[in-house]
């Protein structure tokens, strides 16, 4: 047994063949000119290492390597069937984006967050256009570039692409300098749990503590239970004018105590 043997889908990756560029061009001519299925099979087997190199980018997604390898092989076969020798580019340059796109489609379709079919269709088309533009111009297209090709508003492209992004765990490390890692959750602020709010709540409790029982009751009913001055007046048996006067006096007293 080879020391470096790694089997994926029953394939011994240590024994995968490697095709030279001139060999590949010869096989592509046999496939495209003669429809030679044997040449297609050799092209697939000779480029499986390309699929292996691509799926390493997705190792942290929690997916089975065998599944990613099979999906990557589908992308490889599509690229073999659609490769045009006349473009005079290396096959790997053409195939890698197609393999990556196939794997990303698989991951999106298996995403636990459901996205509407129409939105997903726009996103898929946008990604296909993006891959094509990268192949043609060798640079990353903008959302506006993609929108012009698809003839849809720029905002729809942005929204669709955002909708199909993979969710990120709050516990995913984003930085580690050799000490304790910094996680995503460490970079998210919580407006409900700030020190300033905690201090304000303590001050509010202290201000309420210094009021008399009637003033405390009126403020609780008005601002914690959401009742109107009329409802409070009916409950405690005084006029609305008295409730208003007591409420204002209590708030004024609390402001003095707090500030």
The whole-number mean pLDDT for each consecutive block of 10 residues of the chain, a chain of 259 residues, reads 49 73 86 87 88 82 79 90 82 86 80 64 86 86 89 84 64 55 54 52 71 87 83 87 86 71
User: Identical fold at 111-188 and 191-258?
Assistant: yes
pLDDT at residue 198 in the model: 52
pLDDT at residue 57 in the model: 81
pLDDT at residue 3 in the model: 39
* Count of residues making up the chain: 259
Asked whether 83 and 95 are in contact (CB, 8 A), the reply is yes
CATH node for 191-258: 1.10.10.10
- What are the boundaries of each domain within the chain? 1-87, 111-188, 191-258
User: Residue 43 has which token pair?
Assistant: 């092209």
In this prediction the pTM is 0.43
d(C-alpha 109, C-alpha 166), whole Å: 11
d(C-alpha 120, C-alpha 33), whole Å: 37
The DSSP call for residue 186 is G
Query: What CA–CA distances, in Å, run from 83 to 29, 49, 50, 98?
Result: 11, 18, 15, 11
What are the φ and ψ backbone dihedral angles of 225, each rounded to 5 degrees? -105, -10
Asked whether 227 and 221 are in contact (CB, 8 A), the reply is yes
* Helix (H/G/I), strand (E/B), else coil: 170: coil
The DSSP call for residue 92 is H
pLDDT at residue 7 in the model: 57
Bridge-based pairing state of the strands 173-175 and 182-183: antiparallel
d(C-alpha 42, C-alpha 30), whole Å: 11
CATH node for 111-188: 1.10.10.10
d(C-alpha 182, C-alpha 153), whole Å: 38
């Amino acid at each position: 047994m080879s020391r470096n043997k790694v089997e994926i889908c029953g394939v011994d990756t240590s024994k995968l063949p490697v095709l030279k560029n001139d060999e590949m061009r010869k096989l592509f001519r046999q496939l495209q000119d003669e429809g030679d299925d044997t040449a297609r099979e050799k092209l697939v087997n000779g480029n499986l290492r390309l699929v292996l190199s691509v799926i390493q980018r997705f190792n942290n997604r929690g997916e089975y390597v065998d599944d990613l390898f099979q999906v990557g092989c589908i992308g490889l076969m599509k690229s073999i069937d659609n490769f045009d020798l006349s473009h005079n580019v290396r096959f790997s340059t053409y195939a890698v984006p197609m393999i990556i796109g196939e794997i990303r489609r698989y991951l999106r379709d298996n995403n636990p967050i459901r996205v509407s079919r129409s939105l997903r269709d726009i996103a898929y088309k946008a990604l296909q256009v993006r891959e094509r533009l990268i192949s043609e111009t060798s640079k990353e297209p903008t959302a506006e570039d993609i929108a012009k090709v698809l003839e849809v508003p720029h905002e729809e492209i942005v929204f669709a692409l955002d909708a199909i992004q993979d969710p990120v765990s709050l516990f995913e490390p984003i930085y580690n300098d050799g000490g304790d890692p910094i996680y995503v959750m460490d970079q998210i602020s919580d407006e409900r749990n700030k020190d300033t709010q905690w201090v304000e709540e303590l001050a509010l409790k202290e201000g309420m503590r210094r009021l008399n029982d009637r003033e405390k009751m009126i403020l609780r009913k008005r601002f914690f239970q959401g009742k109107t001055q009329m409802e409070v007046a009916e409950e405690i048996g005084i006029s609305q004018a008295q409730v208003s006067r007591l409420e204002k006096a209590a708030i004024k007293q609390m402001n003095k105590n707090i500030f």
